[in-house]
A and B are shown apart, each in its own frame.
Chain A
């Protein structure tokens, strides 16, 4: 039997990988994928916590997180499409009009 703490450690590592990816990558889709990875790391934590605490709340939370992630993906891809139509690229560095 794998101890539940290991699941927490693995999901924390996944979360950190997601954070690093979101901060260092310059392609909009890859940044968004890193953010999705953060959310999925949290999902893993929630499921492990749910079995650790013998409570159903965590599993229920996961369904809502997946729904929200799907809605976010729909909006995000629409925004990236709009960026691509405008500049033929989704490299974040190309979008630098606003500063100061």
Chain B
């Protein structure tokens, strides 16, 4: 391994060294103060990773024997992961204090799973794809069960682990079938094999393989009909972990999905588009209509995350350059608005009483006007109301669908979006137009939490009012993929 390769892997090396260092420090700092110090160390690692990413812009270097590629596409996703990491760690610092998670391993696991996410966005080999998927998932199985005294957290961890392992079995079988039918594991070699073989000479097993890896990805992004675990796991896991996995895992899975389907399986685009069309429509519809009847805001956000996976799949089905770059843009926008909304829930959490139901929001606008304002911004953004990031993201996704002449998909998407306005605005209505039934408890705002909320609001408005730069970067990133 020469210096050049080490430089390519610098972001991953920084993350891994910080994560292992945190594990060592965590063994000696078992109290609340030590844990928040470790939180700041984890935050510092994000800054270093952020800076190291700029060393590679436009390089497109390979590493690990061409098993991964640091191109502009993976750098865009790495930036999204850094945003997710910064927002989650900032919000976690006071949340872990409230819930009594006094262990530095929490932050180490966040960094470890982020290594998996980064590898997943840049992997160009089936072996690397599988390992990175597991590197991302295994720390999150543990993190979902971090509240060891909370029955719901244990149940969430168990469900996520069993279903995740089950889905990765299918995913692995799919990768194997693709290997059998093409004789290669690297994306480039598989793409060459497919391009050089007549369609009817290809082994039928490749279709089964593609179907199986679709199951694996569908599970990770919470697409219908593999979404059943989502509400339970998102509700039971600690809120900071929910925010992290709702955005991070989804972004990583979409990064790998777009890379493999548009660079390797693009000759079959017509075949998988019809299946994905159905999955996209059902994912949006099921997510939105089930979210309508939820009384628990955290569970409502879990169903809304299924719906958002549906919108992203709409862009995936559209499949043109615009659709692909809007996936990237929407994932970044989703990171800001979703983690922001979960941070508000983290502020409201008390030990043994998490204040997650809709009634806890009643009258919040009078006692805590700024918090309510921030929550309204996030809700408006998720509902897709201008001038927020969610509006621009949805606008580009649906125009991509129209551009590929899939008018029905665009119509169904817009109707779904209209349905979702009901349950997002219900939170706003509760905050401003409903008298609280009991006294609103005093919520404490620590500096990192406030900074996280401000950052999320800034991100939502920045992407909503001046989206041009990020859209351009997303477009360039997609070009690097081809």
Contacts and interface: CB of A to CB of B under 8 A. Distances in A.
Contacts of A83: 154, 158
Contacts of B172: 39, 42, 65
Contact of B162 (A32, A78, A96): A32
Contact of A98 (B130, B183, B236): B236
Interface string B27-63: 0000000000000000000000000000000000000
A100 B126 CA distance: 37
Nearest to B185: A57
Contact of A79 (B127, B152, B161, B232): B161
B179 A82 contact: no
A83 B161 CA distance: 13
A3 to B, nearest CB: 14
Contacts of B148: 82
Given A35-B162, A60-B127, A49 B157 contact: no
B162 A82 contact: no
Contact of B166 (A8, A35, A55, A78): A35
Contacts of B151: 86, 95, 97
A68 B158 contact: no
Q: Most chain-A CB neighbours within 10 Å: which of B131, B148, B162, B184? A: B162
Summarize A's interface: helix, strand, loop or mixed: helix
Interface string B389-419: 0000000000000000000000000000000
- Chain B interface size range: 35 or more
Contacts of B152: 97-98
Given A82-B148, A86-B151, A61 B179 contact: yes
Contact of A95 (B155, B180, B235, B296): B155
Given A46-B179, A76-B165, A82 B127 contact: no
B235 to A, nearest CB: 6
Contacts of A57: 127, 179, 184-185
B173 A42 contact: yes
B237 to A, nearest CB: 10
Contacts of B176: 42, 45-46, 49, 58, 61
Interface string B244-269: 00000000000000000000000000
A45 B183 CA distance: 13
Interface stretch (B10-18, B134-142, B281-289, B318-326): B134-142
A67 to B, nearest CB: 8
A19 to B, nearest CB: 8
Interface in A13-55: 15, 18-19, 22, 28, 31-32, 35, 38-39, 41-42, 45-46, 49, 52-53, 55
B294 A100 contact: yes
Given A71-B138, A98-B152, A35 B165 contact: yes
A76 B130 contact: no
Interface string B297-328: 00100000000000000000000000000000
Given A42-B169, A45-B180, A100-B231, A79 B130 contact: no
Contacts of B26: none
A35 B134 CA distance: 14
A81 B405 CA distance: 53
A95 B158 contact: yes
A8 B127 CA distance: 20
B131 A79 contact: no
Given A97-B151, A98-B155, A98-B235, A75 B173 contact: no
Contact of A75 (B142, B179, B184): B142
Nearest to A41: B173
Contact of A82 (B138, B157, B184, B235): B157
Nearest to B156: A98
B384 interface: no
A35 B294 CA distance: 33
Given A38-B173, A99-B232, A100-B294, A79 B179 contact: no
B208 to A, nearest CB: 10
A71 B127 CA distance: 16
Nearest to A15: B173
Contacts of B296: 100
Interface of B: 126-127, 130-131, 134, 138, 141-142, 145, 148, 151-152, 154-159, 161-162, 165-166, 169-170, 172-173, 176, 179-180, 183-185, 231-232, 235-236, 294, 296, 299
Given A35-B166, A76-B162, A79-B142, 18 more contacts: A35-B169, A38-B166, A39-B169, A41-B173, A52-B180, A53-B180, A61-B127, A65-B130, A71-B134, A71-B138, A72-B134, A72-B138, A72-B165, A79-B145, A95-B151, A95-B158, A97-B155, A100-B294
26 contacts: A15-B173, A28-B158, A32-B162, A39-B172, A49-B179, A52-B180, A55-B184, A60-B127, A61-B127, A64-B127, A65-B130, A68-B130, A72-B165, A75-B142, A75-B161, A76-B141, A78-B142, A79-B141, A80-B158, A82-B145, A86-B151, A95-B155, A98-B155, A98-B156, A98-B231, A99-B232
Interchain residue pairs A-B with the least CB separation, the first 3: A38-B169, A98-B232, A95-B155
